[in-house]
Amino acid sequence: MMILHHGWRSSASRRVRLCLEEKGLAYEGHVVDMTAMEHHSPEYLKINPLGVIPRPLHESGTICEYLDETFPDPPLRPDAPYQRALMRNWIRHIDALIGNLIIFNWRHHLAKTASQWTDEELAEKLKNIPSKERQEAWIRAARKPYTEEERDAARGKLVVLLDKMEEALKPAGWLVSKTYSIADIAAAPFVKRIDEEIAPDEMTAKKHPRVHDWWTKLQARPAYQRANFGPFLTS
Amino acid sequence: MMILHHGWRSSASRRVRLCLEEKGLAYEGHVVDMTAMEHHSPEYLKINPLGVIPRPLHESGTICEYLDETFPDPPLRPDAPYQRALMRNWIRHIDALIGNLIIFNWRHHLAKTASQWTDEELAEKLKNIPSKERQEAWIRAARKPYTEEERDAARGKLVVLLDKMEEALKPAGWLVSKTYSIADIAAAPFVKRIDEEIAPDEMTAKKHPRVHDWWTKLQARPAYQRANFGPFLTS
């Protein structure tokens, strides 16, 4: 049995859960309490994000492609090399936008807690955070919470993502070629947060009709239900 | 005949040239004059970095994997899914370090030219630069050149890359598994610049013996010679 260490709200975890469910692979989920920063504890950094996957594979896009290469059925990558390249481009493009989601993370309760940390406590917490982008987000939460202008700019970039998706969905209703693929899986956690908290008004059938249909279709997949993007009734 | 639009010193171009040469694929090279910012001109942004490759494939790692999928012989990716995943991890890890190379780009002559631009000229130039990281580098060159401390920090991160490579090269002398792969190709342009300008003292047989041997071996490959990493006698 595979063991998956994951956070319910984490975009990376949501991707891998969705990929596992599409593959019909059974796994034992170990929930990491991200609000308690368990995912930055030395214990967690020592284990694998996905038990069966050797430790160095920590990126969700790479993990999904690895799962598809290891368990080819049903395929989650198009056959043609060019389509596969487009799929990888999408994953990378979406990854590069993660900073715009981070700005919206835990905005209320985190800033309140973090602002009470002493400089020493803050420095101690930062030591365990590998990504510079996330370190910056914690410093900002603790000392100088993101402004409304910064949130607007981040929201704007996520809306540009919806615009690009709208264009890409034109030929066949999926991001790459005619098939549902890891590109769609990579986008799903971003769209979930855009739809739910960041820019729900952009997700209407009027504003982005193809994205709206894609999202409806994706959410109707049994794997999506099992991947449990929220609300988190189980845990 | 494939057409490759490339810059001699660009890390992305060096990767793609090396990959094409390893594959033995003939191409017609169109040199882009990067010091004149031709690569940011609207004309260039309209064409493909690699003529045969459809426009959306702009990232060198994705292009190399696409070339390998399209022309499988000789293979530049390991067979096993896990090794392939490790290879993709390496490419992404190295990509994430590009900011540390950019700090050293054209440091002398560029800062001198750029400092003489008016605010309007600077704004005009920035408009054509898609990457935020590179925009920042131009702003810094024009108004507040990188400090010695910043260069030291960047150099430090590139030395950590050498440390990681040293560890990875232990089993077989290549970054992933027993085979020369796109991971090695992805690292080569970085190591070229570390060796030549950024931290040559770290490239000795004493400091990083396995990286030293790997680099000697890689430079001895006929494809490396043909890929022309410099000095640029042809043009």
Give ipTM to 2 decimals: 0.75
Identity at A58, one-letter amino acid code: H
Cβ–Cβ contact A130 with B under 8 A: no
CA A12 to chain centre: 4
- Model pLDDT for residues B101-127, shown as the tens digit of each residue: 888 876 656 777 888 889 998 888 888
**Cβ within 8 Å of A, B 54-93:** 54, 56-59, 62-63, 65-66, 69-70, 81-82, 84-86, 88-89, 92
Average pLDDT per block of 10 residues along chain A, 235 residues long: 81 90 89 65 53 57 91 94 92 89 75 85 81 79 87 94 96 93 96 95 98 97 92 58
User: Smallest CA–CA separation between B116 and chain A, in Å?
Assistant: 30
Mutate to test the interface with B, among A19, A52, A57 (most CBs of B within 10 A): A57
**What pLDDT is recorded for position A233?**
58
Q: Please indicate, yes or no, whether the overall pTM of this predicted structure exceeds 0.90.
A: no
Task: List the CATH code of the domain at B2-101+147-227.
Answer: 1.20.1050.130
**Pick from A126-135, A161-170, B161-170, B199-208: least confident:** A126-135
Which residue in chain A has the smallest CA separation from B53? Answer: A82
In angstroms, the CA A166 to CA A21 distance is: 26
- pLDDT of B131 higher than 90: no
User: What is the 3-state secondary structure of chain A?
Assistant: CEEEEECCCCHHHHHHHHHHHHHCCCEEEEECCCCCCHHHCHHHHHCCCECCCCCCCCCHHHHHHHHHHHCCCCCCCCCCHHHHHHHHHHHHHHHCCHHHHHCCCCHHHHHHHHCCCCHHHHHHHHHCCCCHHHHHHHHHHHHCCCCHHHHHHHHHHHHHHHHHHHHHCCCCCCCECCECCHHHHHHHHHHHHHHHHHCHHHHCCCCCHHHHHHHHHHHCCHHHHHHCCCCCCCC
User: Smallest CA–CA separation between B50 and chain A, in Å?
Assistant: 13
Where do the domains of chain B lie?
A: 2-101+147-227, 106-143
Average pLDDT over residues B216-224: 96
DSSP letter, residue B194: I
Q: Three-state SS for B56?
A: coil
